[in-house]
Structure 1
Amino acid sequence: MRVLFLDLDSTTPSHLGCYGYHRNTSPNIDRIANEGIRFTNYYTSDAPCLPSRTALMTGKLGIHSGVVGHGGTAADVRHEGVDRQFKDTLATQSFPALFRSLGMKTTLISPFAERHSAWTFYAGFNEMHNTGKSGMESGEEVTPVVLNWLEQNGHKDNWMLYVNYWDPHTPYRAPEDFGNPFNNESLPSWLTEEVLENHKQKVGPHSVNEINMFNNQTKPEYPRYPGEIRDMDEMRKMIDGYDCGVRHMDNQIGMIFELLEKQGVMEEVIIIISADHGENMGELGIYGEHGTADQGTCNIPMIIRWPGYQKGQVDNELHYHLDLLPTIAEMVDKDPAPNWDGKSFANTIKNGKKNGREFLVVSQCAHVCQRSVRFDDWLYVRTYHDGYHLFDKEMLFNLIEDPHEQHNIASERPDVCKDAVYYLNEWHDEMMATSSSDIDPMRTVMIEGGPYHAKGALKNYTKWLIESGRGYAVPELEKRHPKEFV
């Protein structure tokens, strides 16, 4: 068995051709979607990067692993304590360890462990290749490492290769000589001048007045990444920059497929394509960031081509990304680990049967503190720390009518909000009852001063708001976050 797992950082489904995007951003990814199953309602349980990949590697929700943020106590996997054996459980119960148990060689090509000091990310791999720039790699720096490995190993049997690309992650770094294949193509139809004018009134990191998180500064080495969006030309620069990142990455993936074809093994390789999180490109009025527990950030692509099984299918059921672990275990006739939180959807791959969840709870504690409930056509967002966005405590979106989350209808549909809160409370009770700790790690983030990417930034940010003509927001920020003005 040969398995290629492509982890495409910050890749949002809504900007891939196989998910209906009008631009030709992803022909190579689209090919695999046509040859396998495309999952439309697939979500990271915990966003962004570190919580998401920790959940995938451990098979545990953040509330169980302890990792829900990017700093402080909640950025480290909980110790197993007095019950720890000679090796911890990740040695045998992690995502790559599952393949190791089948006698397969497991290889990682990624700088991620160094980027976040997430050394548990290495657990279960035979071989690790750090591409050296802590996540600032462009695809042409990653692909040669992948091709070199495949030249040596691709023709052999029994391997799992995990490859991490970063091109869609800010700041958009597609090389200058790549050009802009989308220069003459229209923007997404929903991004109108009216929408932009509404977004100009918003406050909060990565809104149109401060693409650079808390200001509008730019860096000459990243010309595709604007500091602000004042007009539709700059809107185009923003969207084109992201789409060029996706297309440049897709071209690199095409080189991998070309080599596998040359080796005569392409049709035998199980190919899994996913991401750690998506990217808000206007959702909630946020651009170029993955800092909320919403559709833009937490909905991720999942494409599985498993030779001999379902082909050209679409699954619309609700799934967590960590459902992949028990799914693969069932596909290869292995028992799932007892501490995994996932639910297998192997029957979907084998015979197309629906096997989703009734609802999902997704979390974000690195930029804001939010938990959201995804069910039916609804996304309900509960905010505990707004990350200086001035979000309402409750937000509700009908994702069929409003897929880009522009209209909060919580006040209009209290009945739906009550259903969502019921789901959230039931989930929280179950998670805490099955946790090794009596502490909710989101609470830890709050006690330790708030989400990492917001902590300590408010004083300088309020100065910027006044300078940029939005001083009207400062009193409300002071009211919500009085400790940060002491």
Structure 2
Amino acid sequence: MRILYLDLDSTRPDHLGCYGYHRNTSPNIDAIAKESVLFTNYYTSDAPCFPSRTALTTGKFGIHNGVVGHGGTAADVRHEGIDRQFKDRCATDNLAAVLKNNGFRTSLISPFGERHSAWTFYAGYHEIHNTGKSGIESAEEVTPTVLRWIDQNAHDDNWFLYVNYWDPHTPYRVPLDYANPFENDPLPEWLTDEVFERHQQSVGPHGARDMWMYSNRNIWKNVEYPRYPGELLNREQLKQAIDGYDMGVRYMDEHIGHVIDALRAKGVMDDLVVIISADHGENLGELGIYGEHGTADQCTCRIPMIIRWPGARQGAVDHGLHYHLDLNPTLTEMLGVKAPASWDGRSYAPVLREEADCGRDYLVVSQCAHVCQRSVRFQDYLYIRTYHDGFHLFPTEMLFDLKNDPHEQVNLAETRRDLCREAVYYLNEWHDEMMHSMPFDTDPLWTVIREGGPYHAKGFLRNYAVRLEESGRGHAVPELKRRHPREFE
């Protein structure tokens, strides 16, 4: 069995053609989807990138593995302490380690371990190819390494190849000689003039006026990104931002086509498993945020999952609720391999073999790098509870009807207290189960808060308040001072 795992950073499913997007962003991914099972309600358990990939590789929720943020104590996998053996548990329980220890050659093409100093991400791989730019590389800098690997190894049996593409991630950096295929395509209909005007008055990092996190100025020294605007002052710049994201998806998709063509030329497609997913999605206006994955909302935490498994179902769609770490026990079950007892995932292998319902009753997803939030995905709703607002001035509770309001425009928390209470019950039930099932007495979300707040919301507020005054949004400063007095000390 041969397995190709494509990890497409910051790719949101509703900007792929196979998920119904109105732009032709993903013809090669769409072609694979026709031979696959496509999952419509698939979520990372922990956002953004480092927590998400740590949860996937370890098979454990962030509250269990300890990684829920990008800095401080919560950016390190929990120490095993006195029970640690000659090697830590990553050597046996990581997804790649399980495959390696069961006869697979495991290969990784990604810079991600270096980007976040993440040994955990590397554990279990026979070989690691670092593409060298810590996530700023474009597809043309990744694909040659992938093609060389395919040329040298594709005919071998039992391999697992993990490939990481980055092009939809900000800053948008598709080469300038690549023509914009969406130049004449309209913007998504929900981004009306009224919505856009409201976004221009919103506050918080990566808003319409502050695309470079807390300002409209490029934060990358000596590097220009002309496809990525500093702020969105008009609809032309708004279109530039949305086109920039979609061009990243399309450019990446073309390179995925090159990879698939190379595998087809090697004659290995008949027994090749292709898995296409992402670490997280991306807010493109939702909650007033552009070009960032900074919340525990639908657009950040919902991800694509497309599984092409020879001999399994083709052209099928599954609407069940699943975590991304449910992939791990699904793979082991499909391969006839024993799953580690430490994994938190739940297999949905029957969905791949036959039409079956393996979805969960609800999901709890977390974000502690930009804000501190936990959200409950249940029925048609998403309930978001905010513990630290990351300077966005979010209310403590938000509730959205995703069926009728997929872009999170109307907060129902005040009018549907019954649904909020139901969500809080699920949240407490999940939290009790998590705390009872680990040998630690701390929830890392609260570690983040006690250490001063999310990594991307520490030490910026004083200067950002000046930026708000200068850009006509000074009305928000008194409330920011009330909520975050220590930032002004």
TM-score (norm 2): 0.98
In 2: Cα distance, 1:377 partner to 1:201 partner:
29
Instruction: Give 1:436 deviation, angstroms.
Output: 2.1
Give the alignment of 1:71-470 within 5 angstroms: 71-218=71-218, 221-470=224-473
Letter in 1 for 2:412: I
Letter in 1 for 2:383: Y
Q: 1:100–1:124: 8 Å Cα contact kept in structure 2?
A: yes
1:478 is paired with a residue whose SS is helix
Instruction: Give 1:391 deviation, angstroms.
Output: 0.1
Letter in 2 for 1:357: R
In 2: Cα distance, 1:136 partner to 1:267 partner:
34
Which runs of at least 4 in structure 1 moved beyond 3 Å after TM superposition? Answer: none
TM-score (norm 1): 0.99
Q: Which ranges in structure 2 are unaligned for 5 or more consecutive residues?
A: none
In 2: Cα distance, 1:109 partner to 1:239 partner:
28
Instruction: Give 1:422 deviation, angstroms.
Output: 0.4
> Corresponding residue for 1:63?
63
Residue deviations 1:181-232 (CA, integer Å, cap 9, x gap): 1001111111111110111121111111111110111476211111111111
2:366 is paired with a residue whose SS is strand
Instruction: Give 1:98 deviation, angstroms.
Output: 2.1
Residue deviations 1:266-297 (CA, integer Å, cap 9, x gap): 23210000000001011111110000000010
Q: Which ranges in structure 1 are unaligned for 5 or more consecutive residues?
A: none
In 2: Cα distance, 1:313 partner to 1:373 partner:
26
Instruction: Give 1:79 deviation, angstroms.
Output: 1.1
Residue deviations 1:153-206 (CA, integer Å, cap 9, x gap): 011111100000000000011101112010011111111111101111211111
In 2: Cα distance, 1:284 partner to 1:20 partner:
22
Q: 1:327–1:343: 8 Å Cα contact kept in structure 2?
A: yes
Letter in 2 for 1:455: K
1:54 aligns with 2:54: yes
Residue deviations 1:107-129 (CA, integer Å, cap 9, x gap): 00000000000111111100000
In 2: Cα distance, 1:101 partner to 1:353 partner:
30
Q: Percent identity?
A: 66
2:34 is paired with a residue whose SS is helix
Residue deviations 1:380-420 (CA, integer Å, cap 9, x gap): 00000000000000000000011001111100100000000
2:24 is paired with a residue whose SS is coil
Q: 1:64–1:436: 8 Å Cα contact kept in structure 2?
A: no
Letter in 2 for 1:109: I
In 2: Cα distance, 1:159 partner to 1:262 partner:
17
Count how many residue pairs are aligned between Structure 1 and Structure 2: 486
In 2: Cα distance, 1:349 partner to 1:292 partner:
31
> Corresponding residue for 1:34?
34
In 2: Cα distance, 1:299 partner to 1:170 partner:
18
Residue deviations 1:35-80 (CA, integer Å, cap 9, x gap): 0011010000000010000000000000000000000000000111
1:176 is paired with a residue whose SS is coil
1:243 is paired with a residue whose SS is helix
In 2: Cα distance, 1:33 partner to 1:282 partner:
27
Residue deviations 1:342-370 (CA, integer Å, cap 9, x gap): 00000001112110100000000000000
Q: 1:291–1:367: 8 Å Cα contact kept in structure 2?
A: yes
Letter in 1 for 2:19: Y
In 2: Cα distance, 1:25 partner to 1:157 partner:
33
Letter in 2 for 1:423: Y
Q: Select the residue among 437, 452, 473 that pairs with 2:476.
A: 473
